[in-house]
């Protein structure tokens, strides 16, 4: 089995909808071998609760699949739970299990076993309750892969939005928009659009920070003093960067039609537009890692676990994107 064709799928929080998503997805054939790194017992029990007849095919380091699983079946690298998982009921006892699935997937990507990994949602709170410092998938994988800087990008069909800053109070955003940070994030975005998405000359639209992109300094000077000089410096290296543009102008068909990605200055500047456009079919991509990692853009939905009333749209797009990214990478 060659690494460029096999992918890892982590179901995340065992009490949430991640296991359900994996099983519902298994009703369909995939174009590549997909290995769920999960408790086989958990998946069997959840399939029974959902009334799904899914054949669980055990694989592992001594036997990786050489072809995609047939519809109605799922490859599983058995990773035992510490205690049985009850849908909707969190238990810190299984926190180490969640991190083990991520470690197996991430390490497998690093050593060439997997071409990429796709993650279902975890519950950060219960992992921290277990006494394990954990701030999220992104930070965990950055540490695992010894990556200094990563960039969050959300995407849906027809739109990609990367962020200069992520989970900051709005009052702290302006101070965080430094020339160093903006340059670093832009370089990562540009490089990954080339290497992981196969776009030779990415066209990136860049939002201003202030309304009307500062309106010539009357509504703020960050565009004049930080953003435009940084973009100009990067343009001199050959990057195709358009902006800074007012966000309310940038997110219109006239501009987006020929754009490969948008770079937003802060979380709620770019993501509401993306989530409106791609509701139920958006994904999260971690840029800057030496591996391919995509994820659903929603949470654990504890109240829906075990009910079958979940939409696999986001997971499907995350899978499609991971496959496309792997195919675009140079040999």
275 belongs to an annotated ligand binding site? yes
CB 152 within 8 A of CB 138: yes
Q: What is the DSSP letter of 227?
A: I
CB 148 within 8 A of CB 322: no
Residue 331, pLDDT score: 64
167 belongs to an annotated ligand binding site? yes
267 belongs to an annotated ligand binding site? yes
pTM: 0.91
212 belongs to an annotated ligand binding site? yes
Helix ranges (H only) for 178-260 are 179-195, 222, 228-235, 247-250, 253-256
138 belongs to an annotated ligand binding site? yes
Residue 329, pLDDT score: 81
Mean pLDDT of 117-122: 96
CA distance 261 to 22: 29
How does strand 283-287 pair with strand 293-296? antiparallel
Domain residues of the chain, as ranges? 5-146+290-326, 149-273
298 belongs to an annotated ligand binding site? no
Whether CATH 3.40.50.460 fits 149-273? no
For 244-280, write each residue's pLDDT tens digit: 999 999 999 999 999 999 999 999 999 999 999 988 8
218 belongs to an annotated ligand binding site? no
Measured at the CA of 75, the angle between CA 74 and CA 79, to 5 degrees, comes to 115
Superfamily name with CATH number, domain 5-146+290-326:
Isopropylmalate Dehydrogenase (3.40.718.10)
CA 173 to each of CA 157, 177, 267: distance values in angstroms, whole numbers, following the listed order: 28, 7, 10
Q: How would DSSP label each residue in 174-193?
A: HHH--HHHHHHHHHHHHHHH
């Amino acid at each position: 089995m060659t690494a460029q064709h096999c992918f890892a799928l982590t179901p995340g929080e065992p009490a949430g909808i991640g296991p359900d998503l994996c099983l519902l997805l298994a009703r369909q054939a995939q174009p590549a071998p997909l290995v769920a790194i999960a408790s086989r017992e958990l998946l069997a029990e959840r399939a029974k609760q959902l009334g799904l007849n899914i054949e669980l095919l055990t694989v592992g380091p001594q036997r990786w699949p050489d072809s995609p699983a047939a519809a109605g079946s799922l490859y599983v690298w058995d990773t035992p739970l510490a205690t049985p998982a009850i849908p909707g009921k969190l238990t810190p006892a299984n926190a180490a299990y969640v991190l083990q699935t991520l470690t197996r997937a991430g390490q497998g990507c690093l050593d060439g076993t997997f071409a990429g990994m796709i993650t279902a949602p975890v519950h950060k709170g219960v992992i921290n309750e277990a006494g394990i410092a954990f701030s999220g998938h992104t930070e965990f994988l950055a540490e695992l892969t010894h990556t200094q800087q990563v960039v969050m990008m959300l995407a849906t069909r027809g739109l990609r939005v990367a962020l200069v800053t992520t989970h900051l109070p709005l009052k702290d955003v302006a101070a965080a928009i430094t020339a160093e940070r903006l340059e670093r994030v832009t370089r990562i975005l540009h490089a990954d659009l080339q290497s992981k998405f196969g776009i030779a000359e990415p066209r990136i639209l860049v939002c201003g920070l202030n309304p009307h992109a500062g309106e010539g300094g009357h509504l703020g000077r960050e565009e004049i003093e930080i953003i435009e000089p940084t973009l100009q410096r990067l343009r001199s290296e050959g990057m195709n960067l358009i902006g800074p543009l007012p966000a309310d102008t940038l997110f219109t068909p006239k501009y987006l039609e020929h754009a490969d990605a948008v770079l937003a200055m802060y979380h709620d500047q770019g993501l509401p537009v993306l989530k409106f456009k791609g509701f139920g079919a958006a994904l999260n991509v971690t840029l800057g890692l030496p591996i391919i990692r995509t994820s659903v853009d929603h949470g654990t939905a504890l109240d829906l676990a075990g009910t079958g009333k979940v939409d696999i749209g986001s997971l499907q797009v995350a899978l499609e994107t991971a496959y496309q990214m792997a195919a675009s990478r140079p040999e």
